[in-house]
Structure 1
Amino acid sequence: MSVTKDLQYKFSRLNIAEKLIVINVVIYIVNTLLAFLFGLDYGFLMRWFELPKAFGDFIVQPWSVVTYSFFHGGIWHVFWNMLLLYFSGRIFLNLFSAKTFINVYFLGAIAGGLVFLLSYNVFPVFSGINTSLIGASAAVMAVLLFVCTYLPNQEVRVIFFNVKLWYIGVFVVLLDLIQLPMGNSGGHLAHLGGELLGFLYAKKLMDGKDIGEGFGNLIDRLGSSFSRRKRSNLKTVHRSKRMNRDDKPSKQEYQKHIDAILDKISKSGYESLTKEEKDFLFKAGKED
């Protein structure tokens, strides 16, 4: 097996969060090396993809509301974003499909970009400031706030302590609000836009409404237009026994039912769950 094919195979085995991490890191390395080897300004390539502040500049490069999230300003910028994406992505993908992850991630990037763009053209405090937006932070924050909202009482290990996810969600939002006037205001505004999107997405999903469904369908159509592969009509369906929390099953039966639902999500996606299964999973996530 050639090195190229080996790398392609390994890449195909990664989950969607890990693939995005690889893409972001590769873009950072390529951008840095090109600037160094050809003696170019570091922002030479980046300026075609960064999100500009001015509406006039944005109109001529509308793709930048998404592409800005693939470029970073330094090694620590990309490192911390990708580290947070890795851990929040693991929690997310244990419950939901890659399609839902893509919806939250890219809608978070778009929401963060729009909050940045509107804020710098509406609020007088930003008048006369010439700046632009780069970084995956808004998209990553959307994923993080989604899991913090959907599984608020889920505990995770932070250094030496177990912390509930809702504590982490509140902390990062407050941190962005406090730091807003201290510097990097555009970045913190984008964070808040992504965080709001992640919070609303999770809340609506709890009510049985997927606010990213239209966006997901658009991505599917765009993907199919660039691919000639024929999709199989076969669909894997996993039927799990219905169980309500009120039935007071044994601890073993309760965990078995949760595992069956998670297995169904991994095979057919969150959208394949029945209303009863969604309600059961929601109640399980809220328990201490």
Structure 2
Amino acid sequence: MSIVNDIRTAFSRRDNALNQLLLINVLVFVFLVLVKAVLWLSGFQPYFANVLRQFVLPSDLPALLRHPWTLLTYAFTHEGFFHIFFNLLNLYWFGALVREYLGDRRLVSLYILGALVGGVVFVLAFNLLPVLRPAVGTPLLGASAGVTAIVMAAATLLPEYTFSLFLIGPVRIKYIAAFVILISVIAINQGNPGGGIAHIGGALLGFLFIRQLQAGRDLGRPVLAIGDWVGNLVSGRPNLRVSHRSRPAEAPTATRKTAPIKPEQEEIDGILDKISRSGYESLSKEEKQKLFKASQK
């Protein structure tokens, strides 16, 4: 079938991380919808809870120990149409911005780390906070923690970047991120404390990810290393070992430059002037990269 070929092609490309994240969420959603429909038609609808339990993140520790994979699978699991629609819409908007500026691999790192941190904060809150302990057993599902990490990362990286919102007009994403955090705080005491807490955990990760990246530390390296290992294991590609022959020590004066070359201040001033005249969207990809390197000083 052409649909199967299209899906296979989407996952075979290495420069397609955003579409792959979107597609995984859609595929899991469609799978659960089909399973629920089949069970309902066959008269076994109560068994759907057992199926869903394999995907959602439980808040009680014994259940989590029996289903440890749910610490990640919950972030690709949705039940309602509008739940997945708005999550994927935000993922598409803000993910495209992060992907353009930081690349596919860091986009995936942000999503995964945001989901993991949001899930851990969710479990800890329900087991440590007395006010939430009576609700232990409440599950968590949805991409919101990972998406919120990407939203906060984009706002931390490019706070003055502007989105044109329907019926509102141009809004800088730092205000969009602040609104997302406000909604998450409101959700804590308005019937969805688990979701709000997970969102805040994801937001904190997104902020720290960019701040550490600007300081020269990539928090996503462990995620990428594990992903590469799993990818090699699945594809059957062996890990390459590189051996180096011993060489005479180099003279102290022959110091190698390992740090990326910083753009000249004149170039940065020109880029900032261009932003003030035409907006951030007018910058080329090379200019955006130079501006990011300059922010690491």
Give the conservation status (yes or no) of the 8 Å contact 2:148–2:199: yes
* 1:15 alignment partner in structure 2: 16
Matched to 2:29, the amino acid is Y
Once the two structures are superposed, residues 126-184 of structure 1 have per-residue CA deviations (whole angstroms, 9 ceiling, x without a partner) of: 12213111111101111111001111111111124111111111111122112211111
Task: Write the distance in 1 (CA, Å) between the matches of 2:217 and 2:204.
Answer: 16
Structure 2 Cα separation of the partners of residues 258 and 282 of structure 1: 19
Residue 271 of structure 1: aligned partner:
none
Q: Matched residues in 2 for 1:115 and 1:103: separation? A: 18
**Which residue matches 1:244?**
264
**Does the CA-based 8 Å contact 1:142-1:195 persist in structure 2?**
yes
Correspondence for 2:161: 154
- Equivalent residue pairs, number: 265
1:114-153 superposed matches below 5 A: 114-129=120-135, 130-153=137-160
Who is 1:31 aligned against? 32
Cα distance change of structure 1 residues 252 and 231 upon mapping to structure 2, 3 Å threshold: farther
Structure 1 partner of 2:106: 100
Q: CA deviation at 1:50?
A: 1.2
Alpha-carbon distance in 1 for matches of 2:56, 2:283: 46
**2:263 and 2:293 in contact (8 A); partners too:** no
Change over 3 Å in CA distance of 1:59–1:208 after alignment to 2? same
**Alpha carbons of 1:57 and 1:155: their partners in 2 closer, same or farther (altered >3 Å)?**
same
Structure 1 regions of 5+ residues with no counterpart? 234-239, 266-275, 284-288
Hey, what's the Cα distance between the residues in 1 that align with 2:179 and 2:121? Answer: 20
**What whole-Å deviation, never above 9, does each CA across 1:82-140 have from its counterpart, x for those lacking one?**
11111111111111121111111000000010010000001111122131111111011
The answer to whether 1:59 aligns with 2:65 is: yes
What SS is found at the alignment partner of 1:157?
A: strand
* 1:162 partner SS: strand
Taking the aligned partners of 1:117 and 1:242, their CA distance within structure 2 comes to: 43
Amino acid at match of 1:48: Q
TM-score, normalised by the number of residues in structure 1: 0.81
Partners of 1:105 and 1:210 lie apart in 2 by: 14
Equivalent AA in structure 2 for residue 146 of structure 1? A
Larger deviation, residues 27-36 vs 99-108: 27-36
Match of 1:198 in 2: 206
| Conserved? CA contact 1:92–1:101, under 8 Å | yes
1:209 counterpart SS class: coil
Aligned Cα root-mean-square deviation (Å):
3.0
Partner of 1:88: 94
Q: Which has the higher contact order (CA 8 A, sep 6+)?
A: 1
CA distance in 2, matches of 1:124, 1:109: 24
Decide which of 159, 168, 182 is 2:176's aligned counterpart. 168
Q: Is the 8 A contact 1:149 1:169 kept in 2?
A: no
Q: CA deviation at 1:219?
A: 1.7
Q: Which moved more, 1:87-96 or 1:217-226?
A: 217-226
Equivalent AA in structure 1 for residue 263 of structure 2: M
Change (3 A) 1:115 1:281: same
Asked whether the equivalents of residues 113 and 205 of structure 2 are also in contact (C-alpha less than 8 Å), the reply is yes
Maintained 8 Å contact 1:176/1:188: yes
Unaligned runs of 5+ in 2: 242-259, 276-281
- Percent of residue pairs bearing the same amino acid type: 31
CA–CA separation in structure 2 for the residues paired with 1:91 and 1:124: 40
SS of the aligned residue for 2:49 comes to coil
